[in-house]
């Protein structure tokens, strides 16, 4: 099996969420996992699929303009104005996809912490705490992602500040892992291109696959446009 490294792209929040979901739903490759790093056309916040919109709005900065989109994965409110964002899609049947959510979360974050450590960042995976009461790994389902570190988040070893969190979604096609690295918490100058190379290399070792730079899969542009429109709609944003 390979790890397809897709080209970096930038888009609005709704399109970024639509692309991640379609990579899982429509274009999984049984012979490969897929990784992508992406940027944002405008300041953006995303929030977990199950979160209540009334709570989310209380956590947003007043008087500012930004994209707001509900993710297809769980987790908390994420500020993307100064983060490094990625998605990982694991096909059904791979060992990581078959792990319990907490264990797949830990495995990916151990690879991420190792990539930060390669640049002398004192990063560590948080292990000395209990899971949330509902058993979820990662960001608290009702919270704000970078306000508190949960079990198996990446934290700064000295300050305890949360550096990286993520959310997951599993369906019949496989596993979607959406992750965010909060740049201000890293605490030093980082070569982000080197970080991406080191992170994907560490992921490939964890997954026991070969990393291969790969062009984007052919996709149905009408389907992507339709899902992007759905994710940008008030109905999707406010349905909970």
Distance in angstroms (rounded) separating the CA atoms of residues 143 and 141:
6
Question: What are the pLDDT digits (tens) for 1-12?
Answer: 899 999 999 999
Residue 169 to residues 48, 63, 76, 195, 197, Cα–Cα distance (Å): 11, 32, 14, 25, 25
Token readout for 234 is 């008030």
Token readout for 41 is 């056309």
Q: What is the 3-state secondary structure (H, E, C) of 6-51?
A: CCCEEECHHHHHHHHHHHHHCCCECCEEEEEEEEECCCEEEECCCC
Residues (pLDDT < 70) of the chain are 28, 129-142
- Tell me what pLDDT residue 190 has: 93
Please list, in sequence order, all residues whose beta carbon lies within 8 angstroms of the beta carbon of residue 193, skipping any fewer than 6 positions away. Answer: none
Pick the closest to residue 163 from 140, 186, 142 (CA basis). Answer: 186
Pick the closest to residue 112 from 16, 37, 174, 20 (CA basis). Answer: 37
Please list, in sequence order, all residues whose beta carbon lies within 8 angstroms of the beta carbon of residue 132, skipping any fewer than 6 positions away. Answer: 140, 141, 150, 151
- Tell me what pLDDT residue 158 has: 87
- Tell me what pLDDT residue 129 has: 63
- Tell me what pLDDT residue 142 has: 54
- Tell me what pLDDT residue 149 has: 87
| List of domains in the chain | 2-237 (3.30.930.10)
- Tell me what pLDDT residue 162 has: 95
Which run of H or of E encompasses 68?
Answer: strand 67-70
- The alpha carbon torsion through 10, 44, 228, 31 (nearest 10 deg) reads 50
Cα four-point dihedral sign 113, 116, 117, 121: negative
Question: What are the pLDDT digits (tens) for 149-206?
Answer: 899 999 999 888 999 999 999 999 999 999 999 999 998 789 999 999 999 999 999 9
Question: Do 70 and 49 touch, CB atoms closer than 8 A?
Answer: yes
Please list, in sequence order, all residues whose beta carbon lies within 8 angstroms of the beta carbon of residue 118, skipping any fewer than 6 positions away. Answer: 194, 198
């Amino acid at each position: 099996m390979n790890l397809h490294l897709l080209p970096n792209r930038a888009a609005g929040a709704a399109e970024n969420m639509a692309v991640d979901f379609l990579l899982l739903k429509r274009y999984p490759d049984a012979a490969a996992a897929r990784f992508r790093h992406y940027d944002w056309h405008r300041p953006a916040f995303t929030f977990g699929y199950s979160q209540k919109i009334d709570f989310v709005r209380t956590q947003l900065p007043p008087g500012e303009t930004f994209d707001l989109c509900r993710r297809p994965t769980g987790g908390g409110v994420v500020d993307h104005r100064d983060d490094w964002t990625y998605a990982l899609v694991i096909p059904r049947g791979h060992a990581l996809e078959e792990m319990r959510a907490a264990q797949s979360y830990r495995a990916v974050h151990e690879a991420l912490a190792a990539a930060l450590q390669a640049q002398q960042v004192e990063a560590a995976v948080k292990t000395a705490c209990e899971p949330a009461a509902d058993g979820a790994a990662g960001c608290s389902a009702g919270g704000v992602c970078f306000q508190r570190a949960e079990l198996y988040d990446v934290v700064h070893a000295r300050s305890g500040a949360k550096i990286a969190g993520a959310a997951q979604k599993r369906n019949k096609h496989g596993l979607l892992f959406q992750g965010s690295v909060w740049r201000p918490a890293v605490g030093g100058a980082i070569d982000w291109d080197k970080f991406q190379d080191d992170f994907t290399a560490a992921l490939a070792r964890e997954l026991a696959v070969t990393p291969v730079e790969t062009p984007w899969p052919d996709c149905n542009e009408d389907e992507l446009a339709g899902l992007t429109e759905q994710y940008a709609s008030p109905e999707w944003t406010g349905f909970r």
